[in-house]
Amino acid sequence: MADITKGRIVKINMGKGRFLDCDIRVPLITYMDDNFQLHEMVDPTNNELIYYPKLVYIMQDARDTSGCEIRVKNGLSWQRFEDYNRLVGGSDTSIHMVGGATDSKWYLNGKQIHPIHCAYIMQEIANRYKVNCEIGVYLAGYDGSNTLGYLHFAITEGDNYFYYYDTKGKHEIQSLKEISI
């Protein structure tokens, strides 16, 4: 029987399409930075992770800069391997599958922050780290439920890419300023 208290780092994403194979087993409660624990990052179906240090640093910077609690659990994800990605309806080319993306909700004093505000912070931090990024803003009720939405952030090797979802579907945009709430 598998040990459900441990996670397994199977690769390290070095960026620019480079990966280092490994087999590192770590307790799921291990902090990977000041605030993020391994259990927040692993694929929930197998407790495995492709660890991307740059993404962890950027997400920690987002927590430090904003003062918000950033949650990536409860239906949101960091790592997704192929089976889990398919299960949640992810793209066949999802950056989640190489450990390079997060879906998150941000909270300040127990209240969720609107994902567009989080998107602007992530764009600023991506610029600070000189990385190209993919930012997707899932607006409140985008899926017909009473969800308050969430933010998708990924480090990309290509150009910056911005989009948002509302009740009418996906909209590709050139700038976050094109999103009206």
Query: Does 18 reside within a domain?
Result: no
> Distance between alpha carbon 98 and the CA centroid of its chain, in Å?
11
Query: Does 89 reside within a domain?
Result: yes
Q: Give percent above pLDDT 90 in the chain.
A: 90
The neighbour count for residue 23, using CB atoms within 10 Å, is 8
DSSP assignment of 78-98 equals: S---HHHHHHTT--TT-GGGG
Domain count, the chain: 1
- At 152-170, the pLDDT tens digits run 999 999 999 999 999 999 9
Query: Does 6 reside within a domain?
Result: no
> Distance between alpha carbon 7 and the CA centroid of its chain, in Å?
18
Give the residues across from 19 on adjacent strands: 13
> Distance between alpha carbon 71 and the CA centroid of its chain, in Å?
9
Query: Does 159 reside within a domain?
Result: yes
Q: What is the pTM of this model?
A: 0.94
Query: Does 121 reside within a domain?
Result: yes
- Evaluate if residue 1 carries a pLDDT over 60: no
Q: Token pair for residue 164?
A: 């948002």
Query: Does 93 reside within a domain?
Result: yes
Range of the domain at 94: 52-178
CATH code of 129's domain: 3.30.1380
Query: Does 127 reside within a domain?
Result: yes
Query: Does 131 reside within a domain?
Result: yes
| Backbone phi and psi for residue 177, each to the nearest 5 degrees, phi listed first | -65, -15
Q: What is the mean pLDDT of residues 34-43?
A: 95
54, HSE (Cβ side, Cα atoms, 13 Å): 21
Q: What is the per-residue pLDDT for 146?
A: 85
